[in-house]
Amino acid sequence: MAEGYLILETGETFTGTLIGSEKDSIGEVVFNTSMTGYQEMITDPSYAGQILTFCYPLIGNYGINLYDNESKRPYLSGVVIGDACETPSHYQAISSLSDQLKKAGIVGLTGIDTRNLVQLIRKKGTIKGYISKQKIAACEVSQMDAGSFWVKRVSTKEVVTYKKNGPHVVLMDFGFKKSILAALLEANCSVTVVPYHFTYEQICHLKPDGVLLSNGPGDPMELQDRFQDIKKITQRFPALGICLGHQLIALAYGAKTGKMKYGHRGGNHAVKELETGKVKMTSQNHSYVVIEESLNPKVFTITYRNVNDHTVEGIKHVQYPIQSVQFHPEAHPGPSDTAHIFDSFIQQLLALGEVNYATT
């Protein structure tokens, strides 16, 4: 395998071994602290355009299986690993991680001091990086276009419907994880997945009982032309926002978002449920947060707060049946402490609906 380099725009270069497609790639260098779940991470559309660094040093030990992909293909720009296992051991494994990366056209770099790299990101903030067989100057990396408006690339291009006997939920696809859809279907919901740009009128035509705004990649302000429709949709139908969907709901009602220094990514983020005082462990993956001071207390109450940095993790509208969370209640990977959020959303749909649903 060939030698490769991760060149950061801040001047540092990390040398390792190329795996996967061995192609040059540019992207934001971010890190995830989870010990397991690498397959779910590399197929999470929220990583589109990013180079994902795994904090846990041993990646690939249990291979790749047929069940844990969160999207049809990976959209990230690359992965950085301390030690990549080429001989996985698990009864469900169908390939190694490096083989899967090669098949998907994703470059990887292993043999890297990921601890040093993560400490650097924590100190300097999210950094643009370039993976290549050739060393280039940091100034060249800083001038490269890392891409933007990834939502358009990851969102579905067509309407897809899954029939069940329960409430009908429209899933607005900004880059949704398969686990969100699976959680709704497991709760017996009929689900219609629609492109991110669906209008208020198009949503109304589908006659949903509720709407879920999904997670997705990038800066939520890139979707500001959708804010008016999102506000009208959420005023008409009960709504749940997750991750990017949470940010979009807040923005649609006049709040503001900001980019974090290095984001929240991992399966062990503690959030406090303010109503009960209980602390929940959550799965998170985001760079942007809702700025608390920009929330109108006459419009939204804060329902969850991050235990470590006190950022806003959840909001609830004071008048309309609208709730949103910054974390992932469906987990995958991560704990399922907050899976009850789906249950409360569905119970809300049943309570507000006028349809007699068939029993299963």
Active site residues: 243, 328, 330
Q: In whole angstroms, what is the distance from residue 266 CA to residue 325 CA?
A: 16
Q: Is 25 annotated as a binding residue?
A: no
DSSP 308: T
Q: Name the nearest CA neighbour of 208 among 160, 172, 170, 166.
A: 170
Structure tokens belonging to residue 94: 């169908």
- Please tell me whether 105 is known to bind a ligand: no
Q: 260, 306 in Cβ contact below 8 A?
A: no
196: left (phi over 0), alpha (psi -120 to 50) or beta: alpha
Does 228 show up as a binding residue in the annotation?
A: no
Is 39 annotated as contributing to ligand binding?
Answer: no
Residue in 332, 341, 267 with CA at minimum distance from that of residue 304? 341
Contact criterion met (CB below 8 Å) for 272 and 279: yes
Residue with tokens 């006028």: 354
What six digits make up the tokens of 136? Answer: 């280039």
- Whether 218 has a binding-site annotation, put simply, is yes
Residues 6+ apart with CB under 8 A from 43: 68, 69, 70, 71, 73, 74
Residues ≥6 apart with Cβ < 8 Å to 213: 172, 174, 230, 239, 240, 241, 242, 244, 245, 246, 248, 249, 324
What is the distance between the alpha carbons of residues 161 and 169, in angstroms, rounded to a whole number?
Answer: 10
Q: Would you say 213 is a known binding-site residue?
A: no
Helices (H) and strands (E) in the chain, counts: 10, 19
Structure tokens of 61? Answer: 């030990």
37 marked as part of a ligand binding site: no
Rounded to an integer, what distance in angstroms lies between the CA atom of residue 323 and that of residue 349?
A: 12
The Cβ of residue 329 has, within 10 Å, a number of other Cβ atoms equal to: 25
Query: Taking the mean position of all CA atoms in its chain, how far away is CA 118?
Result: 20
Cβ atoms 253, 296 nearer than 8 A: yes
Residue set of the binding site for L-glutamine: 46, 216, 218, 244, 247, 285, 288
Residue set of the binding site: 46, 216, 218, 244, 247, 285, 288
